[in-house]
A = this chain, B = another copy of it.
Amino acid sequence: MEKTLHSEMIYSGRRLRLHRDDVELPNGTRTVREVIFHPGSVAIVPVTKEGDVFLVKQFRYPVGTELYEIPAGTLEKGESPEHCAARELNEEVGLIARKIEKLGRFYVSPGIMNEEMHLFRATNLIKTGREPEEGLTVERIRLSQAVDKIKKGEIIDAKTICGIFWAVWGMPQKETY
């Protein structure tokens, strides 16, 4: 445990809040922790019965490039992860899923940020006809192609790597180890 001695809010913005805390470590020494507060998020691996996955491609300002990602989004105030997953799947990819299963949850960058991401697999997909959000392109590829893109360095987003690997190898019925 680390004990908070003083917490100063440096910034509170649209998507994040930054605090700078003075803390006491278990051995009694003092240090500073910079912490980003985030409302939490979801990511969804939408898989068709043919074994295809839907990815979105979008420009990411912080890294200055377009990335392939699984659909994802930030929890709204009071929203459940399941609701957020269904909403983002419709908004970003124009899909409704008859089945949404929780794969797991993880912290994105626990050394500096409290963001917790909930990971889902969506199957039995129905197209809603809704156009994807402006700036987003949707691509449908084989799951095995997505694995190749990870190994070749064409998919370079952490949640997408977690999600694809989990959907391909982490499901109970596919245990091989």
Which positions in A face B, CB cutoff 8 Å?
1-2, 10-11, 13-16, 18, 20-21, 23, 25-27, 32-36, 38, 59-64, 67, 69, 104-117, 134-135, 143-144, 147, 150-151, 153, 156-159, 161-162, 165-166, 168-170, 172, 176-177
Q: A170's closest neighbor in chain B, by CB?
A: B151
B61 touching A35, Cβ below 8 Å: yes
Q: A156's closest neighbor in chain B, by CB?
A: B106
Max chain B CB contacts within 10 Å: which of A11, A159, A166? Answer: A159
- Chain B residues closer than 8 Å to A107, beta-carbon distance: 60, 63, 67, 156-158
A18 partner, pick from B10, B111, B116, B144, beta carbons under 8 A: B10
Chain B nearest CB from A82 CB (Å) reads 16
B33 touching A158, Cβ below 8 Å: no
A62 touching B111, Cβ below 8 Å: yes
A61 partner, pick from B33, B60, B162, beta carbons under 8 A: B33
> How far apart sit A165 and B164, CA to CA, in the bound complex (Å)?
10
A-B contact pairs, 22 of them (CB 8 A): A10-B18, A11-B18, A13-B34, A14-B32, A25-B135, A26-B135, A36-B36, A36-B62, A60-B110, A60-B111, A62-B113, A62-B114, A63-B116, A64-B114, A67-B110, A104-B161, A106-B158, A109-B109, A110-B157, A113-B113, A158-B158, A162-B162
